[in-house]
Amino acid sequence: MRIRQFALGIVFAWAAAAAPASAQQFSDGPGLFGIFDEVRGGIVYPVQDNDDSGVILSGQLYFRTFVPPFQNYFLNPLLRPRVHFGGNVATGDDPINQVYGGLTWNFPIFQRFFLEASFGGTLHDGPIDSPEGGLDIGCHFIFREAIGVGVDIGQHWRVLASADHSSHADFCDGGNSGITHAGVYAGYRF
Protein backbone atom coordinates (compact mmCIF):
# COMPACT_ATOMS: atom_id res chain seq x y z
CA MET A 1 0.00 0.00 0.00
CA ARG A 2 2.81 2.42 0.88
CA ILE A 3 4.60 1.70 -2.38
CA ARG A 4 1.46 2.60 -4.38
CA GLN A 5 1.00 5.83 -2.43
CA PHE A 6 4.65 6.72 -2.95
CA ALA A 7 4.45 5.96 -6.70
CA LEU A 8 1.27 8.03 -7.02
CA GLY A 9 2.98 10.91 -5.20
CA ILE A 10 5.93 10.72 -7.61
CA VAL A 11 3.57 10.83 -10.62
CA PHE A 12 1.73 13.89 -9.27
CA ALA A 13 4.98 15.65 -8.39
CA TRP A 14 6.37 14.94 -11.86
CA ALA A 15 3.18 16.27 -13.51
CA ALA A 16 3.21 19.42 -11.41
CA ALA A 17 6.89 20.10 -12.00
CA ALA A 18 7.01 19.07 -15.65
CA ALA A 19 8.71 21.36 -18.10
CA PRO A 20 6.77 24.58 -18.25
CA ALA A 21 4.80 25.16 -21.41
CA SER A 22 4.67 28.50 -23.13
CA ALA A 23 1.48 30.50 -22.71
CA GLN A 24 1.12 30.65 -26.49
CA GLN A 25 0.96 26.85 -26.69
CA PHE A 26 -2.33 26.83 -24.76
CA SER A 27 -3.73 30.22 -25.66
CA ASP A 28 -7.27 30.11 -26.97
CA GLY A 29 -8.28 31.76 -30.19
CA PRO A 30 -10.62 34.74 -30.10
CA GLY A 31 -13.68 32.51 -30.39
CA LEU A 32 -17.01 33.62 -31.77
CA PHE A 33 -18.24 36.66 -29.83
CA GLY A 34 -15.50 35.82 -27.30
CA ILE A 35 -17.71 33.03 -25.95
CA PHE A 36 -17.95 30.11 -28.37
CA ASP A 37 -14.95 27.95 -29.25
CA GLU A 38 -16.20 25.30 -31.69
CA VAL A 39 -19.24 23.99 -33.52
CA ARG A 40 -19.59 20.37 -34.69
CA GLY A 41 -21.91 18.38 -36.87
CA GLY A 42 -21.92 14.64 -37.26
CA ILE A 43 -23.65 11.42 -38.08
CA VAL A 44 -23.94 8.74 -35.42
CA TYR A 45 -25.60 5.34 -35.35
CA PRO A 46 -26.90 3.27 -32.41
CA VAL A 47 -24.66 0.39 -31.40
CA GLN A 48 -27.38 -1.67 -29.70
CA ASP A 49 -29.38 -4.16 -31.80
CA ASN A 50 -32.68 -3.26 -30.15
CA ASP A 51 -32.36 0.52 -30.81
CA ASP A 52 -34.29 1.46 -33.97
CA SER A 53 -33.27 5.12 -34.01
CA GLY A 54 -31.67 4.77 -37.45
CA VAL A 55 -29.19 7.36 -38.66
CA ILE A 56 -28.86 10.17 -36.12
CA LEU A 57 -27.94 13.75 -37.00
CA SER A 58 -25.91 15.30 -34.20
CA GLY A 59 -24.88 18.88 -33.49
CA GLN A 60 -22.70 20.28 -30.72
CA LEU A 61 -21.63 23.73 -29.54
CA TYR A 62 -18.52 24.20 -27.37
CA PHE A 63 -17.82 27.25 -25.23
CA ARG A 64 -14.35 28.65 -24.65
CA THR A 65 -12.77 27.31 -21.49
CA PHE A 66 -13.48 29.42 -18.43
CA VAL A 67 -10.08 28.74 -16.82
CA PRO A 68 -6.95 30.69 -17.85
CA PRO A 69 -4.03 28.70 -19.29
CA PHE A 70 -1.56 27.02 -16.97
CA GLN A 71 2.16 26.93 -17.67
CA ASN A 72 2.23 23.15 -17.44
CA TYR A 73 1.70 20.80 -20.36
CA PHE A 74 0.14 18.03 -18.26
CA LEU A 75 -2.13 20.04 -15.96
CA ASN A 76 -3.46 22.31 -18.71
CA PRO A 77 -5.68 19.69 -20.43
CA LEU A 78 -6.90 18.26 -17.11
CA LEU A 79 -7.88 21.52 -15.43
CA ARG A 80 -9.33 23.44 -18.40
CA PRO A 81 -12.46 21.63 -19.64
CA ARG A 82 -14.88 23.22 -22.11
CA VAL A 83 -18.64 23.38 -21.53
CA HIS A 84 -20.65 21.82 -24.35
CA PHE A 85 -24.29 21.54 -25.39
CA GLY A 86 -25.67 19.34 -28.13
CA GLY A 87 -28.53 17.39 -29.55
CA ASN A 88 -29.34 14.28 -31.54
CA VAL A 89 -32.22 14.00 -34.01
CA ALA A 90 -32.97 10.38 -34.94
CA THR A 91 -34.44 9.43 -38.33
CA GLY A 92 -35.45 5.80 -37.72
CA ASP A 93 -38.75 3.98 -37.14
CA ASP A 94 -38.59 4.22 -33.35
CA PRO A 95 -36.39 7.28 -32.78
CA ILE A 96 -34.73 8.36 -29.54
CA ASN A 97 -33.90 12.08 -29.65
CA GLN A 98 -31.61 13.73 -27.10
CA VAL A 99 -30.44 17.09 -25.82
CA TYR A 100 -27.34 17.07 -23.64
CA GLY A 101 -24.65 19.12 -21.96
CA GLY A 102 -21.55 18.69 -19.88
CA LEU A 103 -17.79 19.21 -19.71
CA THR A 104 -15.26 18.12 -22.34
CA TRP A 105 -11.53 17.57 -21.85
CA ASN A 106 -9.09 17.62 -24.80
CA PHE A 107 -5.74 15.86 -24.58
CA PRO A 108 -3.33 16.85 -27.38
CA ILE A 109 -1.10 14.18 -28.89
CA PHE A 110 1.79 15.67 -30.79
CA GLN A 111 0.52 18.73 -32.65
CA ARG A 112 -2.32 17.53 -34.88
CA PHE A 113 -3.94 14.64 -33.03
CA PHE A 114 -6.01 14.66 -29.85
CA LEU A 115 -8.06 12.48 -27.51
CA GLU A 116 -11.26 13.74 -25.99
CA ALA A 117 -13.44 12.74 -23.05
CA SER A 118 -16.67 14.26 -21.79
CA PHE A 119 -19.11 13.80 -18.95
CA GLY A 120 -22.53 15.34 -18.38
CA GLY A 121 -26.23 14.66 -18.60
CA THR A 122 -28.86 14.12 -21.28
CA LEU A 123 -32.62 14.39 -21.61
CA HIS A 124 -34.18 11.92 -24.07
CA ASP A 125 -37.60 10.93 -25.38
CA GLY A 126 -36.91 7.18 -25.48
CA PRO A 127 -38.87 4.43 -23.73
CA ILE A 128 -38.69 4.15 -19.96
CA ASP A 129 -40.12 0.62 -19.94
CA SER A 130 -40.46 -1.46 -23.11
CA PRO A 131 -42.01 -4.80 -23.99
CA GLU A 132 -39.66 -7.76 -24.09
CA GLY A 133 -36.57 -7.16 -26.19
CA GLY A 134 -36.92 -3.37 -26.26
CA LEU A 135 -34.85 -0.70 -24.59
CA ASP A 136 -35.58 -0.11 -20.90
CA ILE A 137 -33.83 3.17 -20.19
CA GLY A 138 -35.38 3.74 -16.75
CA CYS A 139 -35.79 7.54 -16.65
CA HIS A 140 -35.68 10.50 -19.02
CA PHE A 141 -32.77 12.43 -17.47
CA ILE A 142 -29.61 10.31 -17.40
CA PHE A 143 -25.81 10.57 -17.38
CA ARG A 144 -23.90 10.87 -20.66
CA GLU A 145 -20.23 10.20 -21.26
CA ALA A 146 -18.27 10.19 -24.51
CA ILE A 147 -14.78 9.49 -25.85
CA GLY A 148 -13.22 10.43 -29.14
CA VAL A 149 -10.04 10.52 -31.17
CA GLY A 150 -9.45 13.22 -33.73
CA VAL A 151 -7.13 15.14 -36.00
CA ASP A 152 -6.84 18.88 -36.63
CA ILE A 153 -6.90 19.72 -40.33
CA GLY A 154 -5.48 23.19 -40.70
CA GLN A 155 -6.06 26.03 -38.28
CA HIS A 156 -9.85 25.76 -37.95
CA TRP A 157 -11.13 22.35 -39.08
CA ARG A 158 -11.02 19.03 -37.26
CA VAL A 159 -12.44 15.54 -37.76
CA LEU A 160 -13.04 12.94 -35.07
CA ALA A 161 -14.47 9.51 -34.44
CA SER A 162 -16.53 9.33 -31.28
CA ALA A 163 -18.57 6.98 -29.11
CA ASP A 164 -21.04 7.97 -26.40
CA HIS A 165 -23.07 6.12 -23.80
CA SER A 166 -25.99 7.34 -21.71
CA SER A 167 -27.48 5.52 -18.71
CA HIS A 168 -28.77 6.23 -15.22
CA ALA A 169 -26.15 4.24 -13.26
CA ASP A 170 -28.94 2.54 -11.27
CA PHE A 171 -30.22 5.83 -9.82
CA CYS A 172 -33.69 5.20 -11.33
CA ASP A 173 -36.14 2.34 -10.99
CA GLY A 174 -36.60 -0.05 -13.88
CA GLY A 175 -34.21 -1.13 -16.59
CA ASN A 176 -30.86 0.40 -17.42
CA SER A 177 -30.08 -0.72 -20.96
CA GLY A 178 -28.79 2.76 -21.78
CA ILE A 179 -28.26 4.43 -25.14
CA THR A 180 -24.97 3.92 -27.02
CA HIS A 181 -23.83 5.51 -30.31
CA ALA A 182 -20.73 5.62 -32.49
CA GLY A 183 -20.07 8.04 -35.30
CA VAL A 184 -17.99 10.73 -36.98
CA TYR A 185 -17.97 14.52 -36.57
CA ALA A 186 -16.54 17.51 -38.41
CA GLY A 187 -15.76 20.52 -36.25
CA TYR A 188 -14.92 24.15 -36.94
CA ARG A 189 -12.93 26.06 -34.30
CA PHE A 190 -13.42 29.82 -34.30
pLDDT of residue 64: 92
> What is the pairing mode between strands 157-167 and 141-153?
antiparallel
Interatomic CA distance for residues 150 and 155, integer angstroms: 14
The three state secondary structure string of 126-183 is CCCCCCCCCCCCCCCEEEEEEEEEEEEECCCEEEEEEEEEEECCCCCCCCCCCEEEEE
User: Do the domain assignments include residue 9?
Assistant: no
The CATH number linked to 111 is 2.40.160.20
User: Do the domain assignments include residue 128?
Assistant: yes
Beta bridge partners of 114: 108, 150
Label residue 3 by pLDDT band (50, 70, 90). Answer: low
User: Do the domain assignments include residue 127?
Assistant: yes
User: Do the domain assignments include residue 4?
Assistant: no
User: Do the domain assignments include residue 101?
Assistant: yes
User: Do the domain assignments include residue 5?
Assistant: no
- Give 112-149 pLDDT, tens digit per residue: 999 999 999 999 998 888 777 678 888 999 999 999 99
User: Do the domain assignments include residue 93?
Assistant: yes
Mean per-residue pLDDT, 32-40: 88
pLDDT of residue 176: 85
What's the domain count of the chain? Answer: 1
86: Cβ–Cβ under 8 A, 6 or more apart, which residues?
Answer: 40, 58, 59, 60, 61, 99, 100, 101
- Give 41-81 pLDDT, tens digit per residue: 999 999 988 888 899 999 999 999 888 888 887 888 889 99
Q: What range defines the domain where residue 175 resides?
A: 20-189
Is the pTM above the cut of 0.85? no
